[in-house]
Every structure is written in C-alpha cells, then in structure tokens.
Chain A
C-alpha cells in the first residue's frame, strides 16, 4: 500500500463519459502502462433512523459503507469528517441487523468501475462513476506504491498525473494535509472516494435542475 490520490476528470467537451475514459486510457497505454484487470469501489449511504435521534435538535448523520476491490476482504464504514472503521466484509450483514438504527438510502448507491493499470511502481485506476443506471462522471486514482508518506511523494505524483491528465491534474487532496509524516492508509483512499462521490452527487443536481 502506497500513497494514493483520487481525482475527478471532467467529461471532455462534445464527448461522452465513455469516450473521455477511452481518451485517458489510450494516453496511459501510450505512456507504457499495462492493463491489469478491473477494479470497483462502491458506496452505500445510511441515514441514522429517526427513532434513535435524541430530542436536542440533533441532525441525522450520514454514514457511508464502502467496498474496494483492492481490499476484497474488508469493508469500510465512514462518517463525513468522522472516523473511518475498517471491518471484515461481512460487516454488511451487521448493517442489515442494525436496520432500526441505520437505514439504507438505496437510491444513493454509487460506484466507480473501470480498468486497473500498472506503470512502473504506479497503479492507475480509471473508472466510470455510476449512480443507478446512468454514468455520472470519471474517477482517476493514482497510487505510488513504494512510498508511505503522502507529503514525501506529492510532487512526484503531480508530475506523473500531469503526464496523462494534463490540465485536469488535481490539487493536493485534503487528507494529505492532516497526515504530516504519519503513514498513509487504505482508509485515506476511501475518504477521498467518499468526497469524490459526494461531489459528483451534488454536481449532478445542478445540470438536471438547469435543463428542466
């Protein structure tokens, strides 16, 4: 496990999501990256059930339960800005039992699927983000595997991302800021995906509202 940066790439003008993904992966292949199977990151949203809320005007917190094909035996449970729990995969069954406290907002299920590439010591995952039946965006995850300290290799990551993302190279992820020189963990990647999914959910509402 190295240091990972997750970013969104906007759909190219006049192109579909699928076409933009193809442009990106072609650039990667030209660079010399090799295809290594597929990947999937999914995220389900849970509301704290109304019955459990206190009467002090507490607002319901959202909890996200996520999976990452890179860690097939684990399940990640996160609160926004809150702690991240890494559990065994059968944590999902526990969530069913906790129906009385956490309710699954099924319509909010979002996931990113795509191809996994390896280039030297980098892993690159270009995914199509879908919510329900429709493609909503593109995610690019870049991991530099040999390094464990996020801030040590940030400049190196930027340089690599620029080589195929060009002007869409992201800024430093917010999770890097709090890491200082502690070791980067898979949970940090999941937080980045959660933030990306939240951003895409919100973005989606704007054009839909605009069109109608």
Chain B
C-alpha cells in the first residue's frame, strides 16, 4: 500500500515505534514468566534465596509496566484512520490499484444500490397489501369503507393526546356505553367501560393496543382496596368469566397493526352487543339457558348471540 494511503490521520513514525514497543512488551512479559519458571536460585541462605527471587520478580514486573506505559503513549500518537468515507472502511477498497482483477468495490456499490431498491419496493408492497387486508376486515366488521381513516402512526409511542381523542370519539359513538379513561401507571391508559346496567369492562391499553380485558357484573366491585382499578381479579359470576374469555378471543381476532384505532373501535362495537346479554335468546337453539348460562358468545361479524357450545 502506498504511503499516504492511511494519512492524514495516521502517523507512520509513531506506528513503527509502537510496533517496537509491542515487541519490547512481549519480551518483558516473557522475562516475568521465565523468572517464575526458574524459581529461586541457589544461594547460601534461604533468606538470600528469597530476597534474590523477589528482587528479580519485581524488576521484571517493573519493566512490563514500563513497556506497557510506553505502548499506551505511542498508541495515542498513532491516531485513527479517517472515518469520513461514506462507506467507512469498505471505501478503502476503491483505492486498490488493480481494479480489473479484483472488482470488489464496484460489486459492493452494485449490491448497495440493489439492497436500497429492494427496501423501497418492499415498503410499497407492504402498503398495498395492508390496504387489501383492511378492505377484507372492514367488510367483516361492517365498518363502511368511506370512514376508513388514512394510515395512522403505528408505533407503540403514540402521544397520549391521540389515544384520548380516539377513546373520546368511541365514547361519543355509543350512548349506552360510557368509557372512563385513567392513567394510574404512567402513560398506558386504562379504561373502565360501563355498558348500560349490564356489565363493566376493565381494558388495559398499551398505547392504542388492548393488552388485557376483564368483564365483571354491573353490581361487582372493580376497584382494589386502595381505590385503583383492579385489573387482576376475575368476576364472581360464571357468565362474566365466560364473557371475559370471549373478549380475550376477540382481542386476538380484531388485529390490524397498521390501524390500531380501527381495532379498538371494532372491539367496542362487538362489546356493545352484550347490552342484551340477558335478553337475547341463542340464534341456534332458540333458548336462553344452556348449562345455566345465557348465550355468552357474540359472532364477530354479525354480532348475533350464541351459546358457547352452539356456535358452529
């Protein structure tokens, strides 16, 4: 490699001195181990032997530390290779004088361009595919295409104000449903949804994604002793335990990572169909009760009531 290739960052003089210093360090380290290997030399008295050994050992350790200090000093002088090149060290390949035989650099640039293009096309494809999946889900949920919102930010760090707005809008959509939003544990919102005089739902959110939901009776306590929303204990009634299970299933069903607000709205629309939990007979068997439970299942698409065992 021609001189000046590594410059201006590198001091070649210091470089060669540093190499010498490394050699010195290696030899002084070797001396330490030699000294230890040879052990105590023959001297008249035991005390003399010990003294001689300790002195020699100390001497060799000192030279190790001296050589190490010198190496450290020199390594500061050597400096760093330039990092200005856009491709960092791979840019050095362009300096190879025998381009024709080893066309590594041009190949690298080709690969780089190709990978950029791939990423761009993948982004476009993802956008198109997501539109398709929205169409299908929107039909499923009965949400009209006109109201399809533009792509929303999908990260988990949506501003709390945005989450508040989405929840407020849903709250206003359904008069028989009241939603109380609180943030007892930092930025994550918790909702207490009261549906008529039928049930209460605790919804634990992470940004606009629903993490957990617990359904309880209208007359059941939803707070812990210290007045916080009780997100752990389940309902005392079998019917609401069943509805909790179904609600958890619904969370898995309504998935649209690109548009979390649509998911929350779909989930709430589905949840609202429980307003007739005790009044709607099963759409399959026509009865109110099966094994002592009313129809606890609501179809995700039609919102019709079914007993757990009567769906499909």
A-side interface residues toward B, CB under 8 Å? Answer: 1-2, 32, 119-122, 144-149, 152-153, 155-156, 159-160, 163, 181, 183
Contact = CB atoms under 8 A, between A and B. Distances in A.
Contact of B197 (A32, A148, A163): A148
Contact of A148 (B218, B292, B293, B294): B218
B289 A156 contact: yes
A153 B291 contact: no
Q: Size range of the interface on B?
A: 10 to 19
Given A121-B239, A156-B278, A183-B197, A148 B289 contact: no
Instruction: Name, among A146, A147, A183, the residue most crowded by chain B CB atoms within 10 Å (CB to CB).
Output: A146
Contacts of B267: none
A156 B279 CA distance: 7
A120 B288 contact: no
B288 A155 contact: yes
B278 A152 contact: yes
29 contacts: A1-B219, A2-B219, A32-B292, A120-B292, A120-B293, A121-B238, A121-B292, A121-B293, A122-B292, A144-B278, A146-B217, A146-B237, A146-B239, A146-B240, A147-B198, A147-B217, A147-B278, A148-B217, A148-B219, A149-B197, A152-B278, A152-B279, A153-B279, A156-B278, A156-B279, A156-B289, A159-B287, A159-B289, A181-B197
Interface in B16-52: none
Interface string B71-96: 00000000000000000000000000
A170 B174 CA distance: 37
Given A1-B219, A145-B237, A152 B291 contact: no
A148 to B, nearest CB: 5
Interface in B186-227: 197-198, 217-219
A40 B237 CA distance: 24
A181 B198 CA distance: 11
Instruction: Name, among B237, B278, B288, the residue most crowded by chain A CB atoms within 10 Å (CB to CB).
Output: B278
Contacts of B289: 156, 159-160, 163
Nearest to A163: B289
Contacts of B291: 120
Contacts of B237: 121, 145-146
A2 B217 CA distance: 10
Nearest to B292: A120
A120 B219 contact: no
Contact of B288 (A121, A148, A159): A159
A181 B218 CA distance: 13
A112 B175 CA distance: 44
Given A146-B240, A159-B289, 14 more contacts: A1-B219, A2-B219, A32-B292, A119-B292, A120-B239, A121-B237, A146-B278, A148-B218, A149-B197, A149-B278, A152-B279, A155-B279, A155-B288, A160-B292
A146 B217 CA distance: 6
Nearest to B293: A120
Contacts of B288: 155-156, 159
Q: Which 5 A-B pairs have the closest CB atoms?
A: A120-B292, A146-B237, A153-B278, A156-B288, A152-B278
A1 B237 CA distance: 11
Contacts of A1: 219
A140 B96 CA distance: 99
Nearest to A33: B292
Given A121-B239, A146-B217, A183-B197, A156 B292 contact: no
Contacts of B294: 156
Contacts of A122: 292
Contacts of A160: 289, 292
B198 A152 contact: yes
A183 B219 CA distance: 10
A153 B218 CA distance: 14
Nearest to B220: A146
Contacts of A146: 217, 237, 239-240, 278
